Amino acid sequence: MEMIQEGTRIAQQEAARRAIANARNGEYLTFRLGAEEYGIDILRVQEIRSYEQPTRIANAPAFLKGVVNLRGVIVPIVDLRLKLGCETAEYNHFTVVIVLNVRGRVVGAVVDSVSDVLELGGDAIRPAPATNSHIDTSYITGIGSVAERMLILMDIEALMSSADMGLMEEEVAA
């Protein structure tokens, strides 16, 4: 069992090193979830919209708030605070939906507020801290630092296409 955990830890560290190498000079949209600030690849962002109450889907997980009609496209809306286990926050005039293009599918992510767009060089990005194998941090690509700010950099595509989200079709192995 210890060898499996050690192998998992090594694989996570190697994935983090690859992600940091790929993240050189990237532009990130930064947003807040509670007290934390996150960053996602700006190229995944389609638009930012004010929050509107989605149409609920019966028996959906709590983090899937429902769907909205966005110019004829039915878009699932995921509350990232609930998905990531943050304390619940009130929906207010700062609450927005980041409309994302993930694997050719449009998905909305509810966040507390959007901060700005930052360009981070490789020297501003550090590997995510190693955690035990019971915590899924596979979507965290690193920690960015800008002056006094620390950003949790996320692979939003990996998060939104994870099996527990149920938003993407499983890829068939060739």
Collapsing DSSP to helix, strand or coil, 157 comes out as: helix
The predicted model scores a pTM of 0.77
Q: Average pLDDT by consecutive 10-residue portion of the chain (174 residues)?
A: 53 53 71 92 94 93 92 94 82 93 92 91 77 67 85 89 66 42
Q: What is the pLDDT of residue 73?
A: 93
Residue 172 has a pLDDT of: 39
Give the per-residue pLDDT at 13.
54
pLDDT of residue 122: 73
CB atoms < 10 A from the CB of 93, how many?
8
Distances (CA, A) of 88 to 30, 54, 85, 126, 152: 19, 17, 8, 28, 19
Pair 120, 28: CB distance under 8 Å: yes
